[in-house]
Structure 1
Amino acid sequence: MHDWNERVTLLFSAGARPLKPAQELTLAELLLANRFPPSLFQAYAVPGDGSLKPIPTTLTPGQVPEDHTILLQCMRNTDIDALRPTEVATVHHVEEPTTALLDLHYADDDKSPEHRAHLVDDAAMREIVFGKIADFLAHHEIPLPVVAGISGGGDSSSLVQGMRRYTAEHGLDPSAITCFTLVMEPLWPESAAQRARALCADAGFEHVVLYPEDTAALLGMSGSPHTLWGEFERKYGADSSHFFGTFFVNLVGRALCAERAAGHLLVGYQREDVMAELLFLLMNGRRPLPFPRRRTGEVEVLMPVWDVPKSLLDACYPSVSESNYAERVDSTAVRRSSIYYLAHCLDALVPQMSLSLMSGIKSLMDATGGWQELSHVGATPLLQTGHGNTPEQSTMVELLMEHFPHWDSAASAPQ
């Protein structure tokens, strides 16, 4: 049997891993390959004497006796003619596509569902995504000046071009947009800042690159962020780099907003980012945090690509995205990995499922006023949901205050 590992490489930040060989695929995995949920089926081994023997779908066909056939019985009276999930028509829009836009329509009363995969290239994706970002900013009537966090990857690079289109379409001054990128090896590499710098220069936006000494000066730190990261890593582990990075991006973004009298901070949180956070909060019995607009102190964080899958954002800049992946620090943060895995699983069979859930929850929270509000942690610019463990939170705040000496005498308003 052909071994697809000879041609296909499965690559993670930790290195290459093999795909499961075809002969090792279980009955459940064969169902998934045909876009059927395994929990919808009961598997039977059929010896040919008129009897049926239930078997788990975790078996491979090779683990069932050769003289037995296998029956996969749907356990619901599912109208398969109205669903037909395996019948996906390919629509070629270009000769050399970079991604597929899935357009799936189930439950048609005439039993004529339409499932299409539109194959498009990076130019088409840029047109779609940049237009969505510009439309988001126009719909919410976002005034200038604004500040945007740009990492040099596919997500935030799309923000630059979307803002560029927004300013051009509405006759706005591009110099009123400030983009910033943090640099601190190995967490935030110089190469990413170089990519972001070139992109912002082409758009006519100010681009602020903050090296450790710049970040320390902006935030009034007593020492270098390197020193803080060293202590943070020793206490909370290397995998806390993800949370450390998010913390600094938000803190720096809010500080730059204060410097430039900007009321809005744009970030590249995309669909799976927001879905992962939403799942985490709901699974832990917490109320959702607002999206795609979220008040953080005196600054409102905007998420213009909240409904765009990451794969489509990366397709706008394929080479940039690949460089960004290659530079990433390896992670063994199990819980973070798990929640992102679950977020991506939602769209594995029905690509719009996550968007449907997010849109429904957003409408419910808007209608009921049910969003979780953020509150200040003492006399600091730190914000919390009110669910933190007090002793652990106090320990972390004390650690941070050693590096931000002005916090203990600051007013409760964020910087």
Structure 2
Amino acid sequence: MTDWKRVTLEFTAGSRSIRPPEELSLAEILLANRLPPTMFQAYEARSQSDLAAIPMTTLLANIPDEHHVVLRCIRNTDIDTLRSADIEVIQRDQAPVAGLLDIEYGRREPLSRVHLVDDDTLREMVSDQIVTFLQKHEVTTSIMAGISGGGDSNTLVYGLTKAVRASVLPAEGVTCFTLAMEPLWPESAVDRARELCDRAGFQHRVLYADDMTNLLGMSRSPAELWESFRRDYGPDTVHFFGTCFVNLIGRRLCRELGGHNLAVGYNREDLLAELLFCLMNGRKPLPYPVRRMGDVNCVFPLWEIPKHLLDACYPRYSASNYRERVDSTTPQRSAIYFLAHCLDALGPEIGLSLMKGVRGLMDEIGGWEELAPVDGTPLMRTGMSDAGTEQQVLGLLREFFPEWSPTA
């Protein structure tokens, strides 16, 4: 018998136990078989002629043993064209760390395969995509790369290394940077980033609080700014604060070194979550996978690659990175990332197909949200805020950035 107590769900907020099959609802049983519960009606069959509709939230354990459960599909669905009876397992490597799903559906003979690959294979696959991205978008001059010490940005370093070897980028044209300030950017992550950059032969700049203060012309340290921001907007805003700061530092370093390309490790679900947020709130999407911000192109070479595959490229680094993470996020951010990951869970590549479709449409109709500069600052207006909130945030920021003024 399977012992489900051996399986633990681990979150930054701590561990959670997983529910065994007997505690699953009928809806959850359908989801476990990659079938959407909203496409079915549940019935309890008390006899051959007695069918009673029951909620999908019903636990199978609560149905008497002598009764059957019928889950009736409410659409004319040819299920045999949507999934094959068996999944073919192809063990490509001897010590796999990930399974690559290869599913073809909507055809008379659907195929389901999973290719088991190790971290070496994954790194080569991802780095090839990075090289292809840089070639396609003509990123062939110097580039600044933000490296956090986590799975996404670490994989980015390996891809940039291959781009240099392929003469897509000049050997001296890659500079990496990492921020260091407890608890947002721990020193241990800096060590991992430094190790990767040393191995790649890239220049690596580590910026501590004093370095950031000097680079951005701040009157007080970013640590004090975070405490003030945390006080006014809550500790759950740590991810927004951190992302904004990395962007500010990266763009300033680009200008300092005379470059125009800033590469960051945004993955598929990062950009899909952002896209879903925009669409669900009636907003125009922000441009991807290249986003012009002032005089710098922010490029997202990892935009097509799922997060779990990037982490599997460097399993040891990723495991350490997660255990060091600050346990804080907004409920809205949790929800939108959850939805982004749900899309590919029901149908592999659905999320990427949606992103490619929206990108093609926005390119065709010129529908992207235009990033307008906020006067007197390096900030960009995304169209997501109201005037009152914007002025409130700017009021706080100008206490720390004396050079930021509406008339600058």
Superposition TM-score, scaled by structure 1 size: 0.96
Task: Determine the structure 2 residue equivalent to 1:36.
Answer: 35
Task: Determine the structure 1 residue equivalent to 2:115.
Answer: 118
CA offset digits 1:172-209 (Å, max 9, x no partner): 43222110000000110011111111111111111000
Task: Determine the structure 1 residue equivalent to 2:286.
Answer: 289
CA offset digits 1:205-247 (Å, max 9, x no partner): 1100000000000000001101101100100111111000011
How far apart are the structure 1 equivalents of 2:367 and 2:213? 37
Task: Determine the structure 2 residue equivalent to 1:4.
Answer: 4
Q: How does 1:110-259 map to 2 (within 5 A)?
A: 111-170=108-167, 172-259=169-256
CA offset digits 1:128-151 (Å, max 9, x no partner): 001110111122221321101000
Task: Determine the structure 2 residue equivalent to 1:362.
Answer: 359
CA offset digits 1:361-396 (Å, max 9, x no partner): 000001111111101122111111234121111011
How far apart are the structure 2 equivalents of 1:406 and 1:308? 39
How far apart are the structure 2 equivalents of 1:87 and 1:36? 15
How far apart are the structure 2 equivalents of 1:17 and 1:397? 40
| Paired residue total | 408
How far apart are the structure 1 equivalents of 2:343 and 2:242? 26
The alignment partner of 1:367 has SS state of helix
User: What is the deviation of 1:2?
Assistant: 4.1
Task: Determine the structure 2 residue equivalent to 1:390.
Answer: 387
- The answer to whether structure 1 residue 75 and structure 2 residue 68 are counterparts is no
How far apart are the structure 2 equivalents of 1:263 and 1:94? 40
Aligned partners of 1:34 and 1:86 also within 8 Å: no
The alignment partner of 1:406 has SS state of coil
Aligned partners of 2:262 and 2:299 also within 8 Å: yes
Unaligned runs of 5+ in 1: none
How far apart are the structure 2 equivalents of 1:252 and 1:405? 17
Aligned partners of 1:137 and 1:304 also within 8 Å: yes
How far apart are the structure 2 equivalents of 1:172 and 1:352? 30
CA offset digits 1:315-337 (Å, max 9, x no partner): 11000111110110002411100
User: What is the deviation of 1:96?
Assistant: 1.7
User: What is the deviation of 1:84?
Assistant: 2.4
Aligned partners of 2:26 and 2:56 also within 8 Å: yes
Task: Determine the structure 2 residue equivalent to 1:323.
Answer: 320
Task: Determine the structure 1 residue equivalent to 2:20.
Answer: 21
- The amino acid across from 2:393 in the alignment is M
Aligned partners of 2:154 and 2:193 also within 8 Å: yes
The alignment partner of 2:262 has SS state of strand
How far apart are the structure 1 equivalents of 2:239 and 2:182? 14
Post-superposition, which runs of at least 4 consecutive aligned residues in structure 1 deviate over 6 A? none
- Deviation larger for 282-291 or 377-386: 377-386
2:343 paired residue among 346, 353, 364: 346
- The amino acid across from 2:198 in the alignment is A
CA offset digits 1:5-45 (Å, max 9, x no partner): 2x112100011101112211111111111111111111100
Task: Determine the structure 2 residue equivalent to 1:89.
Answer: 88
RMSD: 1.3
Task: Determine the structure 2 residue equivalent to 1:335.
Answer: 332
User: What is the deviation of 1:277?
Assistant: 0.1
How far apart are the structure 1 equivalents of 2:252 and 2:83? 53
- The amino acid across from 1:318 in the alignment is P
- Deviation larger for 260-269 or 72-81: 72-81
Identity level (%): 53
How far apart are the structure 1 equivalents of 2:54 and 2:329? 35
How far apart are the structure 2 equivalents of 1:352 and 1:298? 33
Aligned partners of 2:140 and 2:170 also within 8 Å: no
- The amino acid across from 1:99 in the alignment is A
How far apart are the structure 1 equivalents of 2:3 and 2:188? 37
How far apart are the structure 2 equivalents of 1:170 and 1:410? 44
- The answer to whether structure 1 residue 56 and structure 2 residue 75 are counterparts is no
Task: Determine the structure 1 residue equivalent to 2:271.
Answer: 274
The alignment partner of 2:69 has SS state of strand
CA offset digits 1:262-304 (Å, max 9, x no partner): 1110000000000000000000000001100000111010000
- The amino acid across from 1:233 in the alignment is R
Unaligned runs of 5+ in 2: none
- The amino acid across from 1:238 in the alignment is P
How far apart are the structure 2 equivalents of 1:399 and 1:150? 28
1:263 paired residue among 255, 260, 283: 260
How far apart are the structure 2 equivalents of 1:406 and 1:324? 35
Aligned partners of 1:215 and 1:225 also within 8 Å: yes
The alignment partner of 1:381 has SS state of coil
How far apart are the structure 2 equivalents of 1:224 and 1:77? 62
How far apart are the structure 2 equivalents of 1:405 and 1:338? 36
Structure-2 change in CA distance of 1:66 and 1:253 (3 Å): same
User: What is the deviation of 1:407?
Assistant: 1.1
- Deviation larger for 124-133 or 62-71: 62-71
Superposition TM-score, scaled by structure 2 size: 0.98
Aligned partners of 2:84 and 2:109 also within 8 Å: no
The alignment partner of 2:403 has SS state of helix
User: What is the deviation of 1:66?
Assistant: 2.7
